[in-house]
Structure 1
């Protein structure tokens, strides 16, 4: 549970910052104008733009704090966390400069697809099943099953990337509030459901190994 919350740390901060800014639009506009006015195209931030820009900055800072915490504690920083930092800095930077929320809405999709691509290249190109490397210390499975686990995660991440685009630009187009809530609760709920379903599917192999 601690690791799960740690991984969600930037997403939770993003959600909280956005919701608080929406409750205090004048204060959020004044704060973002003062701190970010020199970094945006045109130099003017409106009250409507302030919440997503403030949340984007908080999300970037949250990811930096994640990595900083691991480095200070002498722990290994997972490669995908560095990828996550790069994606949020680039897409968040574009969001801030152009004060356009559509860039940050692409961030989850790019990250999901990056995860899927890394898993695919590792498993197919280098015969290195990264899901097996991450999970084998906890469960023992036949080689063929590990291959299916790897492909299942690839498919899940690819589908989540598409789902984010559909929710952001079709279902919740023009409703950033709803998308922000989906980003935390909907996507996290689907991830949890996928993990539970996969655990159930793999239970017979785990029991056989026992």
Structure 2
């Protein structure tokens, strides 16, 4: 359930983008009917309608996640707060300037923010965030926790660069391809990383047995 909860904004972002793309004329009319007085130039181009609809839905979905957790008096993870702030800032610029380049930076900023937080926590506060999150489930040697921590930092940094490459080089003028990559490509890369991590951990767990 938590996995689906975490993917909630992404699923709605992807679904709303595809729906708006299939009904671009209606989406365009709806946006200009409600946002024309709030955006730069007073009008949103039809070509930008799908990504702006998806951005609005994504912001609302992320905000709904935070409000749901607060209403249930549950802890809101720092990563979710970061996601909401970055989504509002870069999504807001995407909507106001009707420019998809801003929202394409959003995943990279989040990945790099996570990497930075992990590095700062380790270097300045002697906190291994991966160990804090996982040590109740698994016992590992100290050097393995350190390697795992920096594996995650490297993964977030690399994933940030991959997003920029896909968004601004590989599929520079193809929003459909970037949205597909965001929904399926990133998910696939994370799955591969999780599997590789599981193999790495299983080796050391067996060694400790």
Q: Report the more deviating stretch, 151-160 or 31-40.
A: 31-40
For this pair of structures, how many residues does the alignment match?
209
Q: In structure 2, what is the Cα distance between the partners aligned to 1:126 and 1:70?
A: 27
SS of structure 2 residue aligned to 1:42:
helix
Structure 1 residues 148 and 65: alpha-carbon distance in aligned structure 2, compared to 1, 3 A threshold? same
Which residue of the partner structure matches residue 201 of structure 2?
202
1:39/1:96 contact within 8 Å kept? no
Q: Does 1:159 align with 2:163?
A: no
| Pairwise CA distance, 1:207 | 2.7
1:60/1:85 contact within 8 Å kept? yes
Which residue of the partner structure matches residue 78 of structure 2?
79
Question: Aligned ranges for residues 177-188 of structure 1 at < 5 Å?
Answer: 177-188=176-187
SS of structure 2 residue aligned to 1:39:
coil
Q: In structure 2, what is the Cα distance between the partners aligned to 1:40 and 1:175?
A: 23
Which residue of the partner structure matches residue 123 of structure 1?
122
Which residue of the partner structure matches residue 54 of structure 1?
53
Which residue of the partner structure matches residue 34 of structure 1?
33
Identify unmatched segments of 5+ residues in structure 1.
none
1:131/1:150 contact within 8 Å kept? yes
Q: In structure 1, what is the Cα distance between the partners aligned to 2:117 and 2:188?
A: 23
2:48/2:98 contact within 8 Å kept? yes
Which residue of the partner structure matches residue 137 of structure 1?
136
Structure 1 segments of 4 or more deviating over 3 A?
none
| Pairwise CA distance, 1:69 | 1.1
Q: In structure 2, what is the Cα distance between the partners aligned to 1:61 and 1:6?
A: 14
1:80/1:115 contact within 8 Å kept? yes
2:45/2:98 contact within 8 Å kept? no
Structure 1 vs Structure 2 CA RMSD: 1.0
| Pairwise CA distance, 1:35 | 2.4
* Structure-1-length-normalised TM-score: 0.97
Which residue of the partner structure matches residue 91 of structure 2?
92
CA shift digits 1:44-78 (9 cap, x unpaired): 11211111111000000010011111111111000
Which residue of the partner structure matches residue 20 of structure 2?
21
Q: In structure 2, what is the Cα distance between the partners aligned to 1:6 and 1:35?
A: 30
Q: In structure 2, what is the Cα distance between the partners aligned to 1:152 and 1:125?
A: 18
Q: In structure 2, what is the Cα distance between the partners aligned to 1:103 and 1:92?
A: 7
CA shift digits 1:115-145 (9 cap, x unpaired): 0000000112211001111111111111110
Q: In structure 1, what is the Cα distance between the partners aligned to 2:34 and 2:134?
A: 43
